[in-house]
A and B are shown apart, each in its own frame.
Chain A
Amino acid sequence: MSTSSAPLTRPAFDRALWLVMPATAFMLLLFVYPFLYGLALSFDPKEGDWLANYKFFFTTDNQWPTIWTTLKLALPATLINIGFALPIAYKMRVKSRYQRWVTTILVVPITLGTVLIAEGMLTYFGPKGWLSQFLQLLHLYDGPIRLTHNYWGVLISLVISGFPFAFLLILSYITGIDPVLARAASTLGAGPKAQFRHIYLPLLAPGLAMCFCLAFVQAYSVFPSAVLLGSPAGPTRVISIAAYEAAFEQYDYSLASAIAMIMGFVQLIIVAAVLSLRNVFYRGPVSGGKG
Chain B
Amino acid sequence: MSSLSALTRVTLMKDLRLEWRSKDAINSMLFFSLLVVVVFSFSFDPSAEESRLIAGGLIWVAFLFAAVVALNQTWAREIRNQVLDAYRVSPAPANSLFIAKTLGNFIFVTVLEALMTPLFIVFYRLRSLGPVWQLLLVAAFGTWALVVNGTFFAAMSLRTRSREIMLPLLLFPISIPALLAMVQATTAILNGEGARFWIVLLATYDLVFTTVCLLLFETVLNAE
Partners in one complex: no
